[in-house]
Structure 1
Amino acid sequence: MSHSADNPLRVAVLISGGGTTLRNLIEKIATDKLWIKIALVVASTEKAKGQQYAIDGDIPISVVDWKSFDSTDAFSEAVFGGCRAAGVDLVVMGGFLKHVLIPADFENRVINIHPSLIPAFCGEGFYGARVHQAALDYGVKLSGCTIHLVDNHYDNGPVVAQQSVPVLADDDADALAARVFAAECELYPQVLQWFAEGRVTIDGRKVAVR
């Protein structure tokens, strides 16, 4: 189904920390070039500072504190139960650091952005500065970001899009992270616009944009 500026794609954004991805999406929506409506922000902890962006944007917030649940199943059901209640079309992970299990009705409807070119430097334990330091330690000449569909394993779902950035000789983890994040800020909204326009097709692990 395709959407428009007047009939935007409804999304939930999942956060665990500062909410920089959420802030970027809110800014892009304000330009009228991104046909999505953030119907819900889900925070995995009350300490997630990114909630302030939702408050400022008058976006509903659901705090689903992972520490309150005794299993991943129960935590996941609480997360996606809120998404169902909000009537979202797509779930967007924006720095969401907790593992969830994807229910059948959300298969191929959850996307994540990872700060490397998957399958390099990904999987359990690879997040934040750890990813960039691993890239530097390995000596790669290119890094970047990957947007992928989410399944029940870390950074394993089908790749939707990737953007590369150079790794420079004098980079430290912070410098590389800043360059990758700049790419993320352009690629994530672009991919969400593709979804809003109904241009994304999924066939197993093969994702195409029409």
Structure 2
Amino acid sequence: MRLACLISGGGRTVLNLQEKIAAGALNAEIVSVLASRDCAGVGRCEAAGLSVEVVSPRRFPSEIAFGEAIWGRIEQRGADLTVLAGFLSRLPIPERWELRVMNIHPSLLPAFGGAGMYGDRVHRAALARGVTVSGCTVHFVTEEYDAGPIVSQSIVPVEPDDDADALAARVFAAECDALPAAVREWAGGRLEVTGNRVRIVRRPLEEDG
């Protein structure tokens, strides 16, 4: 399976996917990394041997033109699935890419999601609300922020003395398992989507082990 990854920050999610691939835990190849700005993830992904290009939305006259540029590059590399790995720019999703774009969000959606909710903003909001559990959500991407069909969710505890950094570290550890697992299910054709519900379908041989 050929993956395209979109970043705007540190690139740790992409590096985690690459580590899973190198370890034989994910049968995939990252064929393209596109960054919306010159962020720390550019250098990190390049150091890992990945092909990286900065495609800033500021270079384009409209959101549509930016989207066309992104999808043109992704399709040129022959990607099967696109992963938003901390990508902060608004991106139109063409119909041909429906259910072929995944995102990892650092909360249990629909809690603490939507426009402007990313990174430490999510964790600070969770702590301010006083929740006792948090986690991460893998979901398909649609035109509405953080509202696509949910593939999986992983729960982590919120400790009484947590700050945003401590909670973020615990959630990211869960993300490192959740996203590769979801990508494997997609690659195996095991994600059955009906409306906004996703069901993992096992074949008889898989159920037997």
TM-score, structure 1 length as denominator? Answer: 0.93
1:1-210 matched pairs, under 5 angstroms: 9-45=1-37, 47-210=38-201
- Range with greater deviation from structure 2 (170-179 or 195-204): 195-204
Q: Whole-Å Cα distance in 2 between the matches of residues 82 and 62 of structure 1?
A: 9
CA distance in 1, matches of 2:10, 2:178: 19
Please state how far the C-alpha of 1:191 moved relative to its aligned partner.
0.9
How far apart in 2 are the matches of 1:10 and 1:99?
23
Q: Distance in 2 between matches of 1:105 and 1:18?
A: 29
For the Cα contact (< 8 Å) 1:22–1:53, is it kept in 2?
no
Aligned residue number for residue 6 of structure 1:
none
Report the Cα distance in structure 2 between the residues aligned to 1:81 and 1:100, rounded to whole angstroms: 13
Q: 4+ residue runs of structure 1 moved beyond 3 angstroms?
A: none
**Residue 118 of structure 2 aligns to which amino acid in structure 1?**
Y
Q: CA–CA distance in 2 between the matches of 1:28 and 1:101?
A: 29
RCO higher in structure (CA 8 A, sep ≥6): 1
5+ residue gaps, structure 1, are 1-8
Provide the identity percentage. 50
Q: Which runs of 5+ in 2 are unaligned?
A: 202-209
Which 10-residue stretch deviates more, 176-185 or 69-78?
Answer: 69-78
| Count of residue correspondences | 201
Name the Cα RMSD after superposition. 1.0
Q: 1:146-205 CA distances to partner (integer Å, 9 max, x unpaired)?
A: 000001111111100000101111111111111000000111111111112221121221
